[in-house]
Structure 1
Amino acid sequence: TWALARAAIPGAPEAQTTPRLYHAAPATMLAEVRGAPAAAQVIALIGHQPGIGAFARKLADGATPASCARAFTRFPTGAIAVLDFDIDAWSQADWGGARFHAFAAPKELG
């Protein structure tokens, strides 16, 4: 999935494949984010349902519009959620600690 997206993003980094994230539970995804290098300013976590939607929903718990909370539940193939953290290090990432910015699914983009 990242190979396709990367081709459209100038200067995008190589993917770091992490086998334990395949069909991972949200807690496993959070552990991976917490272990990200301090120098990483952006993390693109690519995953599958049901884990990725639950992960996004738990990160932005209470901070998402109802329509997006529902979208996180179904999180269709190719969808993207953009979340932001006000933290000094990825190790500080936690449930409910993210701000929701955007959600889009391919069907909505045409």
Structure 2
Amino acid sequence: MPEELPRRIVLIRHAKAEHPDDVDDRERPLAGRGRKDAPVLGRWLAGAGLTPDLALVSAARRTRETWRLVVPELAATPKTVYEERLYGAGLGELVALLTEVSDEVQDVAVVGHNPGVHALADALAGEAEGDPLARMNRSGFPTAAAAVLTFQGSWKSVEHGVARLVAFWTPHA
């Protein structure tokens, strides 16, 4: 793929999850609101023309459930990799995962958790169009939110400030 084509990173925080006392954090299921918000997120992505080539999804139950409810709303089904390293990943680990993406891939979705997803969006966004950066930082990157960033170059070149935040969406504005 020619490097002059812009690449897109769609960062998604899982939808609202339940907090049952007797369930390990990795196995927390989506709450009712989460099951309602995830398809709405999928419709927003589809309406924005965003169908990633690849989705890197945390192996936690709530992220897998979120992605399974988003996908039917998209124009096509992306290749999906359930990635153990996304669970609890910090900023450095998230950047490292992106640098491993093949340059054959143009658009990647990362479905993960806070605070990592918010930290990654903030770190990569060297520039922003309009007010998405301010809105993202005001909202704290709520559940079922998505940030869309674009950048030029190879995935190996992903680093702090390399991208432009072009959209930030939440289901409850």
- Per residue, is there more strand in 1 or in 2? 2
Could you say which residue in structure 1 is the equivalent of 2:167? Answer: 102
1:70 maps to 2:163: no
Please report how far the alpha carbon of residue 68 of structure 1 lies from its aligned counterpart in structure 2 after TM superposition: 3.0
Partner Cα distance (1:68, 1:94) in 2 = 22
Structure 2 residue 94 is matched with structure 1 residue 29 = yes
Aligned position for 2:42:
none
CA contact (8 A) 1:2 1:15 kept: no
The answer to whether the 8 A contact 2:136-2:168 is kept is no
What does the per-residue CA deviation read over 1:27-62, in whole Å, with 9 as the maximum and x for residues that have no partner?
Answer: 10110000001111100011111110011000004x
Other-structure match for 2:152: 86
Compared CA separation, residues 8 and 35, structure 1 to 2 (3 A): same
Aligned equivalents of 1:77 and 1:69: distance in 2?
12
Structure 1 runs, 4 residues or longer, greater than 6 Å off = none
Amino acid in the other structure paired with 1:83:
L
TM-score under structure 2 length normalisation: 0.57
Unpaired runs of 5+ residues, structure 1, are none
SS at match of 1:102: strand
Moved more, 7-16 or 36-45: 7-16
The residue that corresponds to 2:112 in the other structure is 47
| Counterparts of 1:75 and 1:38, CA distance in 2 | 28
Name 1:12's counterpart in structure 2.
Answer: 77
What amino acid is aligned across from residue 110 of structure 2 in structure 1?
L
State the identity %.
32
Contact 2:100 2:155 (8 Å CA) reproduced: yes
Superposed CA RMSD: 1.5
CA shift for structure 1 position 94: 0.9
Query: 1:22–1:48: 8 Å Cα contact kept in structure 2?
Result: yes
Q: Which runs of 5+ in 2 are unaligned?
A: 1-65
- In the superposition, the TM-score normalised over structure 1's length comes to 0.87
CA drift at 1:69 = 4.8
Task: Compare CA radii of gyration and give the structure with the larger one.
Answer: 2
Aligned pairs, number: 105
Q: Which amino acid aligns with 2:158?
A: A
Q: Are residues 4 and 69 of structure 1, via their aligned partners in 2, closer, same or farther at CA, if it must alter by over 3 Å? A: closer
